[in-house]
Structure 1
Amino acid sequence: MLRALYTAATGMKAQQLFLDNVSNNLSNINTTGFKRSQVNFQDLLYSKRYIAGSESAQGFEIPAGIQLGGGVRTISISKVFSQGNHVNTERELDLAIQGKGFFQIQQSDGSIAYTRDGSFQLNSKGEVVTADGLPLSPSITITNATEISIGTDGTVYVKGSDPSGTLQNVGQIMLTMFPNPSGLDSLGKNLYLETMASGSPIVTVAGEQGTGEIYQGFLENSNVETVTELVSLITAQRAYEINSRAISASDEMLSTINSMAR
């Protein structure tokens, strides 16, 4: 019964973390480029009373042993980088990636972060920046433009005040891929950082090596599915209740034993 108390407690802890993760997914359902997180569980060590295949007292082989599990633990929470739906905004600097790539963003300390959020703007210097003012890498500057055109390969053209209406190439938006994107470190602010688990970044032109194409005038919605998360919410709640009932049942049995001892 004491074993049941501790085992059920691990279940309650795991379901609490599961519920926290579901809550985070639902709270970011309208966050541009957000990727939902998935909780992965693992059973704990087993206490083995009898080992399957061992010999019984009568000399026969035991076909199935006795193993008592110690509960459950959360082994990882990984990002699911499935494609989100695109929404048409008709803004010239709103960009969506159809594929596995990431935009490169230069942070204030000079390091590079990565994002799927393509809601870019121009700062006072004409640099293409994020909503937090962090510039694209490599930097692209647009000044005195009457029209901005961005190709699916990330090539940026602008039309200035020149009466001829000639398009001028002002830069190239590069995309980055990772061998294991689930290993990226979530920094917040829609940014990710490279880690040893993610592998080294592969920088290439959009449309090459599976990075995907860039679509101007679109943004990528979160890949969170409301129905799926609500089902997970109910599952976590019910599993938490069942584990708490196991603790209550163990407590009642212990109370009964104590009453017998008196």
Structure 2
Amino acid sequence: MDRVIYTAMSAASQTLHRQAITSNNLANVSTSGFRAQLAAMKAVPIVGSTMPTRTMVTATTPTFDASMGAFNYTGRELDVALAEDNWLAVQLADGSEAYTRNGAIQIDEEGTLRVQGYPLMGDGGVLTVPQQSKVSISSDGTLSALGAGDKPTTIAQVGKIKKVQLKPNEIIRGDNGLFQLTEQTRNARGAVLPDNPNAKLMSGVLEGSNVNPVVAMVDLISHSRHFEMQMKGITTADENAQKANQILSLT
């Protein structure tokens, strides 16, 4: 009976883990460019000298939902959206690159362009613009800046946003919500990927989250039912074990 209890216990634990993943997806239903995390359950046999037949249930997050989110018109010049399989590159604290579909660009007090708090990468490094300047973005990612009080004829190009083409199987989600290259992609294409000159940007538009709130709510209810079923299995196995012990004690 303890095999049943152990299997049900591990399944209940991983069901709670899946519920946490679904809750995180639901919490990011309004996050620009968010990609829903997917989870799958699998059985892992436990190999040992004393318990070779027991099996543990574990939840894995092998991939994410790569479908496009809805495009929302904002009218803000620093909001951009990209075509499918193209990503913006940002710089992490250790100097490496990460990728995001969130096109809500901000400019800090030093003139550095940032996305989700991380410096936005251009074809020549981190992008910066003159302070208090008016910035516009063309469809190929070129940044143009007009200084405060300057004439419209003095507008100048100050950089170009880096757009990287990546397939869903070439990246993996990090704990910070950004995506990084898999080891296989890094070995095949290098640690720093070049700009995709054919990618186009849409200014004044943001891609929304691809999380379906109705489906996420149904999944939460399903996870709750699965957890109750596993707990019922533990209770039933325990009751059967107690009755078996009573029968053995009588004989």
TM-score between both structures, scaled by the size of structure 1? 0.77
Measured at CA, do residues 144 and 72 of structure 1 come closer, stay the same or move farther in structure 2, by a change above 3 Å?
A: closer
C-alpha RMSD of matched pairs (Å)? 2.9
- Which protein shows a greater Rg? 1
Count of matched residue pairs: 237
Shift, 1:184, TM fit: 2.1
Structure 2 counterpart of 1:176, from 133, 144, 164: 164
Q: Deviations over 1:93-118 (max 9, x none)?
A: 11111211111112344322222221
1:143 and 2:149 aligned: no
1:90-239 matches, within 5 Å, as: 90-132=75-117, 134-137=119-122, 138-143=125-130, 148-159=135-146, 163=151, 165=153, 168-181=156-169, 183-188=171-176, 190-199=177-186, 200=190, 202-206=193-197, 208=198, 212-239=199-226
Q: Unpaired segments of 5 or more residues in structure 2?
A: 47-52
* Native 8 Å contact 1:185 1:195 kept in 2: no
* Native 8 Å contact 1:119 1:130 kept in 2: yes
SS in structure 2 opposite 1:37?
Answer: coil
For 1:247 and 1:30, the matched residues in 2 are separated by: 38
> Which is further off, 75-84 or 162-171?
162-171
SS in structure 2 opposite 1:205?
Answer: coil
Measured at CA, do residues 169 and 18 of structure 1 come closer, stay the same or move farther in structure 2, by a change above 3 Å?
A: same
Shift, 1:125, TM fit: 3.6
SS in structure 1 opposite 2:157?
Answer: strand
Shift, 1:40, TM fit: 1.5
Shift, 1:18, TM fit: 0.9
* Native 8 Å contact 1:87 1:219 kept in 2: yes
Moved over 6 A (4+): none
Shift, 1:176, TM fit: 1.3
1:257 and 2:244 aligned: yes
Q: Unpaired segments of 5 or more residues in structure 1?
A: 47-67
For 1:135 and 1:254, the matched residues in 2 are separated by: 61
Shift, 1:236, TM fit: 0.9
TM-score between both structures, scaled by the size of structure 2? 0.80
Higher share of residues assigned helix: 2
Q: Which amino acid aligns with 2:117?
A: D
For 2:204 and 2:146, the matched residues in 1 are separated by: 17
